Amino acid sequence: MSYEVFARKYRPQTFDDLVGQPHVSRTLKNAIAQNRLAHAYLFVGPRGIGKTSTARILAKSLNCIKGPTVTPCGKCDNCLEIAAGNSLDVIEIDGASNRGIDDVRELRDNVRYAPAKSRLKIYIIDEVHMLTKEAFNALLKTLEEPPPHVKFIFATTEPDKVLPTILSRCQRFDLHRIPANLIAQHLQFIAGKEKITLEPAAAHAIARGAEGGLRDAESMLDQLVAFCGEKISESDVLNVFGFTSGQTMVDLTGRILRGETPAAIDLLHQQSESGKDMMRLMSDLIAYLRDLLVFKAKPDALKEDVDPDVQKSLGVHAELIATDRLLELIDQFAAAEGRMKWAPNKKLHFEVAIIKAIQSLGQATLDEVIEKLGELRDDGKIISQKESALVAAGVSPATHNAAAGTAATTAPRVEETSATVDSEKIWEQVLARIPAKGLLRTLSESVRPIGTDGRNFVLGHSPDDQLQIEVLASVNNRRQLETLLKEASGRDWSVKFAAKDGIPSITAEGPKPAKSFKDDPLIQEAIELFNAQIKS
């Protein structure tokens, strides 16, 4: 007996065998049980998810000798012939090969004849969108008023190419891409039947590579058995198909989010030297970032499509980046992927994309600057109104501020991390590089290093100096500090300021905010800087 590939051997034979399409199987079973059958059905979805298999199951359910039934026996002549594709009364037509008006006219003429031995004559037209406009028009009348003994079942991957007049005459079912976890479970089922040892990580790697298509996953498993024999590991899957391991994506994304440029580039070089396709690697990175974006919006949305270990990594990475920054990151890598398609040196574009992404994570966005400017403007108004009210009430603003300092101790505080000692050493080197005079010196002497938080270098200041620090920490000063921190430590940092008790306050002679929003040179400097960025 000739060898039968897994995709045909394990093709679903009943509605309960369909993987990942419960909404379709439930609706069709109810329609059969209640005798509420339409005369035309349209199954829509990407390749390899069960459109034609669903059509055959429906045909068996209608023409089974025990039918109509939701559980065709699979043993009678009608069921066996339909499963083999040689039934006289279930005619399967390839829309790509029989797309002309003459083919449809022949079909229309044959529709009038009663079935040879079955209950119904059923026409299954695959890739129906390939029919010509003239063929569609020739089919319209028959489709609208078919004989009672005829049913039409259409399948297509591109429903937008089917004429609206055809769509309106069909019951449409949209079949979904199958979640990776369900594909992995089905592959383990096949492996058990075939006496094959398939590592869980290997099953998930195949499922990710199949991109929602069960038939593709079964074909890949077939190929792996021919290559590996009875034991298949994740490394076998990665080597045969050039996929990237999930852990590699986790490591690369983590290094990018933490600003570890040398480590990220080194990992990219390792993948390149091992023969990995740079386009595939970029696609996998974008897919992981997409999963991270979905996870931040709704963690439960990925429980069926991502294995538990990757979900834990997504939880860790979600804490390292804000949603708006993540969107920018995806846009940057998507643009780089577009450039890589036509570039001879794809690795170069990948390297540049990683470096730019890490640099952009350390830069203030226009929205952040506008928000901060609004806070400064509002704080200036509030302080002015507050001092006027205190003077009118006969209370000294200085006395009131001293009392407020006591209440500040109850505010949330930034805790010291285990890296405080290292951060102090780095800060000493930064101070040595700052000029003796200027606002940057004033800012640096008003803060103290209190630790690190991921890629953030946390600088603490007195709670009484919140407004002064916001004024001193202009975009330009913040960038200068981040540049000096990189020179001192060899890695990229994003400066973060936090109020903390125990740090001396700026003296009364220190810089004060401008009375007018427009008169503040620091604010104007920030505006001019971002205007220049927008123009460029």
Q: Could you read off the pLDDT of 63-110 as tens digits, one per residue?
A: 999 878 999 988 889 999 998 888 888 988 888 787 778 888 888 888
In a 10 Å sphere around its CB, with 0-12 CB exposed, 13-18 middle and 19+ buried, how is residue 8 labelled?
Answer: exposed
Would you call the peptide bond into 299 cis, given omega within 30 degrees of 0 as the criterion? Answer: no
Do 497 and 523 lie in a common domain?
yes
The 3-state DSSP composition of the chain as helix, strand, coil percent (nearest 5) reads 60, 10, 30
For residue 414, name the pLDDT band (cuts at 50, 70, 90): very low
* In a domain? residue 302: yes
Based on the domain organization, do 518 and 391 belong to the same domain?
A: yes
Rounded distance, CA 324 to CA 219, Å?
Answer: 39
> What CATH number is given to the structural domain containing 192?
1.10.8.60
Checking if the pLDDT of 350 tops 90, the result is: yes
Q: Are β-strands 448-453 and 456-461 bridged in parallel, bridged antiparallel, or unpaired?
A: antiparallel
506 against 512, higher pLDDT: 506
Max Cα-Cα span within the chain: 105
Determine the distance from the C-alpha atom of residue 375 to the mean position of all C-alpha atoms in its chain, rounded to a whole number: 34
CATH code of the domain containing 488:
3.30.300.180
Q: Map tokens 């050493």 to a residue.
A: 425
> Is beta strand 150-156 parallel, antiparallel or unpaired with respect to 231-232?
unpaired
Query: How many alpha carbons fall within 13 Å on the CB side of residue 46?
Result: 10
Look-up: residue for tokens 């390149």?
272
Based on the fold, state whether residues 376 and 496 are members of the same structural domain: yes
Question: Are residues 45 and 58 both part of a single domain?
Answer: yes
**Residue 267 DSSP one-character state:** H
User: Does any domain span residue 523?
Assistant: yes
End-to-end alpha carbon distance in the chain: 70
482 in any annotated domain: yes
Q: What percent of the chain has pLDDT over 70?
A: 83
The reply to whether 357 and 393 lie within a common domain is no
Count of domains in the chain? 4
Give dist(CA 319, CA 497) in Å, integer.
18
Assigned domain for 313 exists: yes
378 and 338 part of one domain: no
Give phi and psi for 19, each to the nearest 5: -100, 125
Boundary of a domain, candidates 126, 145, 174: 174
Residue 127 region by backbone torsions, left for phi larger than 0, else alpha for psi between -120 and 50, else beta = left
Residue 416: which pLDDT band, with cuts at 50, 70 and 90?
very low
Last residue of a domain, one of 174, 193, 211: 174
389 and 484 both lie in a single domain: yes
- Which token pair is 290? 């997409």
Task: Give the domain range for residue 55.
Answer: 6-174
Distance CA 111, CA 94 (A): 17
Average pLDDT over residues 168-182: 91
Based on the fold, state whether residues 308 and 204 are members of the same structural domain: no
Strands 171-174 and 231-232 turn out to be: unpaired
Q: Which whole number is the average pLDDT over 327-333?
A: 92
Residue-averaged pLDDT of the chain = 81
End position of a domain, from candidates 241, 261, 294: 241
Backbone angles phi, psi at 364, to 5 degrees: -75, 135
Domain shared by 106 and 198, yes or no? no
Highest-pLDDT range among 16-20, 273-277, 378-382, 429-433: 16-20
For residues 163 and 196, membership in a common domain is answered with no
Whether the CB-CB separation of 364 and 260 falls below 8 Å is answered with no
Question: Which secondary-structure segment (H or E) carries 150?
Answer: strand 150-156
Residues 393 and 517 in one domain: yes
On the question of a cis peptide bond just before residue 68, with omega within 30 degrees of 0, the verdict is: yes
Per-residue pLDDT reduced to its tens digit, 205-233: 898 888 889 999 999 999 999 988 889 99
Question: Both 14 and 160 in a single domain?
Answer: yes
Q: Residue 361 pLDDT more than 80?
A: yes
In a domain, 295, yes or no: yes
The reply to whether 1 falls in a domain is: no
CATH code for the domain in which residue 307 is found: 1.20.272.10
